[in-house]
Structure 1
Amino acid sequence: MTADTYDYIIIGAGSAGCVIANRLSAGGATVCVIEGGGSESAPNVQVPAGILSLYGNPKYDYAYVGTPQPELDGRRIPVNRGKALGGSSTINSMVFIRGACSDYDEWAALGCKGWAWDDVLPVFKSLEKNMLGQSPDWHGTEGELYVDRARDPNPVSEVFVKAGRAAGLAENTDFNAGTQEGVGIYNVTQHDGKRWSSFRAFLKPAMHRPNLTVLPATETRRLILEDRRAAGVVVAGPEGEREIRATREVILAAGAIGSPALLMRSGIGPGAMLKAAGVEVAHDLSGVGQNLRDHVDGMITVRSASPMTLGLSVQNLPSMIAAPFQWLLARKGMLTTNYVEAGGFARTRFAGAEPDIQFHFVPGYRSHRGRLVEYGHGYAIHTCVLRPKSVGEIRLGADGAAEIDHRFFTAPEDAATLVEGIKIARSILAAPVFEPIRGPEMLPGPDVSTDDEILAYLRAEALTVYHPVGTCKMGTDPLAVVEPEGLRVQGIDGLRVADSSVMPTLIGGNTNVPSMMIGERCARAILAA
């Protein structure tokens, strides 16, 4: 088995990993980035509307499926995760959200010193290249991550914003300033009407560096541990199985599923679980795979006869024919949509100091049959629980694969909050401004009206909006996997984790940009050591 040697090995070219690779290689160290997926250069990745072709596509999506969920009628929930350079930032909806200020203050209060809002805001700003002239108190303009508005929002997205105002919610023109509360058009990570993934922002500009090696389509099998130190990895790729060695450190940035799974396959994790999976225990670390949190989501979908909404129809055929030319010539038209152009944050009667639900509005018909594409027109609202109390875990199966158990609704508060969220979403859709395009509600449907009926619907249909975090949490408690100061794995030298898995709690919003911030913090800690 051949072996190459580098100063640093980074597992995963996703939201965090691309940032780390850029920063470490800029300092002159030799860096090897190992990514299980391949190229992200195809047009369906770069064109925002191409997202529909990415979910479930084995070329770009690991397409995990969770374990049966007893509180969701025993269903197994799909878990989409990016499998390409850029990771999940290559298949996501490109929504730029950082979470509430109080989320990070809570992290600090939980023992993660140095992670309060005042600590992380300068880091967020350093990454951002804001194209909207938004307040410099909250935004940066010198970073690599382009932040813009959708180039050509569907007019129905503006209808949603007006309807939200009619339902008593404020209009919010910047969800990343002082408050998240209200409805509005989301900022997106796009540049010139194209997806601006972490790969595009951070890794691709560094690919010319002779000290940076990127190995796509390469699976990391396990860590090489020598005297309780991470000395390298065993990988399998186009050249077969081989060892890659690190003289300084190995950094896991494989995400909330991939990072704990790799630790456990390497013998680092809860001892009893590893033994049951047939893995020799190298380091009994009880928190690995624990503390899984995700945003559970319910949908309302409405049919409409209006071709103003996005949709596949004879009426819409001229727009569909024109769309490629509009996009190529002016970055306009229906191909510029990220499908969740608008949304917002609201409070149910259970909310505390912050909004407890988030909306993602789709100005097109979401199939009531679960199809990716459904003929016809309509619109939909997704509503998710922002700070769920239900906590799951990642286990290691006998075959070495990750078993994803969200345990959705095991905390009754989450179910109650989502029921209330569905009712608030319905109040928005009931606003008179929707009258010209109104149609029948297909899901949950007019016969679903009481709290018990809505809850039964959610048990049968609720999914996730793909924001798993927490499975290698930082902190000082017994379930902490990494220490907060530099994200080093407890009890193993030369090993760090830097991705959404280190979050001790789930932030109120989309997790792509917070993961980049975590990558930046990790790189700074390494360079300062």
Structure 2
Amino acid sequence: MTETFDYVIVGAGSAGCVLANRLSEDACNSVCVLEAGPKDWHPYIHLPAGFIKTFHMKGINWAYQQEPGPWTGGRKIYAPRGKTLGGSSSINGHIYNRGQRQDFDTWAQLGNRGWGYPDVLPYFKRLERRVGEGEDIFRGREGNLTVTTMDWKDPLCEAFMAGAISLGIPKNPDYNGAIQEGVSYAQRTIKNGLRVSAATAFLHPAEKRPNVHVRTHAHATEIIFEGKRAVGVRYIKGGKGGKPFEVRANKEVILSGGTYNSPQLLQLSGVGSPDLLRSHGIVVRHALPGVGEGLQDHYAPRSVARVKNIKTINERRRGLSLALEAIKWATTRRGLLSLSPTMVYCFWHSGETTESSDLQLTFTPASYKEGVQGQLEDEPGMTVASWQQRPESRGYVRIRSADPFAPPIIQTNYLVAELDRRVIVAGMKLARRLLASAPLAPYYAYEDFPGPGVQTDDEFLGAATQRGTTTFHPGCTCRMGPADSSWAVVDDQLRVHGLQGLRVVDASIMPRMISANLNASTLMIADKASDLIRGRTPLEAVAVPGAGV
């Protein structure tokens, strides 16, 4: 069975939802969205604290595993990605964090016209409905995406922020404003005690239009080409062994499957490294060696201290306490179940000569088994995750076989670059100082991990190797850059080099990692791409004199 639309979007994640909304504003455009997962019906998606359940729910989660790397102690690190309407925005930690001005100016310096900070700021503003502090020159007030600041004043969080201030880290009421550096409660995509995903903010409103067609349980298996032009997509309905379908695109095929799935589909379709494709018996349709190469992610060891004299989330999320919290959320949409997993954000420097903050630290009044988010420990604890904002190490995503249902090979190569190892150690040392600060002393029992026996740089690095995990921020596998760059996959219009009718629009197009969680910027990429696709004049660049990096 074949259907024909103007645009076919592969993936209903953060980018795909925004694209479906924007492209369908033109009533003459028909838009089809293919999503491998189900509708976002599950209650745990919409309950903010439900992340602890969706983390491992394979029905709405690709539940990938990374390959062991040279600096991960032989471990395969779990890499969840959303597999439902909204994609990872339906299972993530709700955080809204754009990054620093310098991140986007660097993209432009790499040859990507129109992607500097003054160019992308108007799209960040157009997307968001900021509730709370923030200067209007930086923040949007009328967009689809509601962004709030955590309003639950926790004594441990307050003490942690006071501790940061005592170490010379300033309070910053808006890390998405003029400057990122400082400490504050986290900004998140939660409204009235419910998750605001890309699906609820953008896709579901668009679905009310007659020109939007969403196909769930539709696993894309191949891009259809006529010569060098993409003209459609083949997919299987209902999983491996299901019924095959294809959809045709009069105008464009747009890949928004994310950092792992977009390069995988390109490779399965014969676009990528010729050696890789031939090794799996795939005919080379278009040689493009950069496909799947350049993967970057934030790698975070999580420092844990045991807590005394106060209850933490560990105790408050079980038994009678949990039942009371459930009643509170059901009646008021407030309380523990309305919270995101990370409550405080801190941005600072790994050294005195660092020009902009290169460390990101998060605090939560809870601790997780084996340093992995998703499984609360029984003992009361508090956790600081620390990571390098702009890693140098790069890995890759490559097909495992010609089977479109086989998960790709994901090799992140954490800490391969020597600079990354230095900065990660500096982050762990700062985490120790923060947890042991005077304002936290009434609640601080002892350091559980890495533990007082860890003192030297080599010992810290060993601890990071033993317990570090992904922060769920993969990017850069279909990088944006000029055609003469050996690594580039798309141009600055997000068109795949050397092909027609095919774009990639998701976090994979980032030429290098940004100093932030990726969801906010992925939404921005899609919003800007929607204007590029429609041939609209881009929003006017915003001059922000004196804005910090």
**The TM-score by the shorter chain falls in which range?**
over 0.9
CA contact (8 A) 1:301 1:367 kept: no
Map 1:249-398 to 2 at 5 A: 249-312=252-315, 317-349=319-351, 352-368=354-370, 370=372, 372-398=375-401
Q: Which residue does the alignment assign to 1:416?
A: 422
Q: Which residue does the alignment assign to 1:225?
A: 225
Give the deviation of 1:372 after TM superposition.
1.1
Q: Which residue does the alignment assign to 2:37?
A: 37
Name the CA distance, whole Å, in 2 between partners of 1:504 and 1:273.
22
CA contact (8 A) 2:46 2:194 kept: yes
Residue 25 (structure 1) aligned with residue 24 (structure 2): yes
Deviations 1:347-375 (A, max 9, x none): 01276321111011111122237571321
Q: Which residue does the alignment assign to 1:113?
A: 113
Map 1:517-528 to 2 at 5 A: 517-528=524-535
Q: Which moved more, 1:71-80 or 1:362-371?
A: 362-371
Give the deviation of 1:302 after TM superposition.
1.7
Give the deviation of 1:487 after TM superposition.
0.6
Deviations 1:268-315 (A, max 9, x none): 00111111122111000011001111111111012224443211369x
Q: Which residue does the alignment assign to 2:8?
A: 9
CA contact (8 A) 2:264 2:408 kept: yes
Residue 63 (structure 1) aligned with residue 63 (structure 2): yes
Name the CA distance, whole Å, in 2 between partners of 1:287 and 1:351.
34
Residue 454 (structure 1) aligned with residue 460 (structure 2): yes
Name the CA distance, whole Å, in 1 between partners of 2:467 and 2:369.
12
Give unmatched runs, 5+ long, in structure 1.
Answer: none
CA contact (8 A) 2:34 2:219 kept: yes
Q: Which residue does the alignment assign to 2:486?
A: 478
Q: Which residue does the alignment assign to 2:436?
A: 430
CA contact (8 A) 2:133 2:174 kept: no
Q: Secondary structure at the match of 2:168?
A: coil
Name the CA distance, whole Å, in 1 between partners of 2:342 and 2:74.
29
Q: Secondary structure at the match of 2:107?
A: helix
AA aligned to 1:148 is T
AA aligned to 1:482 is V
Give the deviation of 1:453 after TM superposition.
0.7
Give the deviation of 1:136 after TM superposition.
0.3
Q: Secondary structure at the match of 1:213?
A: strand
Deviations 1:418-463 (A, max 9, x none): 0011001111111111122112222111111211111111111111
When residues 45 and 153 of structure 1 are mapped into structure 2, their CA distance, relative to the original with a 3 A threshold, is farther
When residues 350 and 254 of structure 1 are mapped into structure 2, their CA distance, relative to the original with a 3 A threshold, is farther
Q: What's the RMSD between the two structures over aligned residues?
A: 1.6
AA aligned to 2:131 is M
Give unmatched runs, 5+ long, in structure 2.
Answer: 537-549
Deviations 1:191-244 (A, max 9, x none): 112110111110011111111100112100110111111110110114711111
2:446 alignment partner, one of 440, 444, 451: 440
When residues 307 and 84 of structure 1 are mapped into structure 2, their CA distance, relative to the original with a 3 A threshold, is farther
Name the CA distance, whole Å, in 1 between partners of 2:133 and 2:358.
29
Q: Secondary structure at the match of 2:480?
A: coil
Give the deviation of 1:337 after TM superposition.
1.5
Q: Secondary structure at the match of 2:494?
A: coil
Percent identity reads: 36
Q: Which residue does the alignment assign to 2:547?
A: none
Give the deviation of 1:318 after TM superposition.
4.5
AA aligned to 2:307 is S
Name the CA distance, whole Å, in 2 between partners of 1:161 and 1:307.
17
AA aligned to 2:18 is V
Aligned residues: 526
Name the CA distance, whole Å, in 2 between partners of 1:155 and 1:522.
43
When residues 8 and 351 of structure 1 are mapped into structure 2, their CA distance, relative to the original with a 3 A threshold, is farther
Give the deviation of 1:317 after TM superposition.
4.5
Q: Which residue does the alignment assign to 2:511?
A: 504
Residue 243 (structure 1) aligned with residue 242 (structure 2): no
Deviations 1:372-395 (A, max 9, x none): 132131110000110001011111
AA aligned to 1:357 is L
Q: Which residue does the alignment assign to 1:75?
A: 75
Name the CA distance, whole Å, in 1 between partners of 2:226 and 2:261.
22
Deviations 1:130-165 (A, max 9, x none): 111421011011100001112424332222111111
Name the CA distance, whole Å, in 1 between partners of 2:79 and 2:295.
13
Name the CA distance, whole Å, in 1 between partners of 2:217 and 2:518.
24
Give the deviation of 1:45 after TM superposition.
1.2
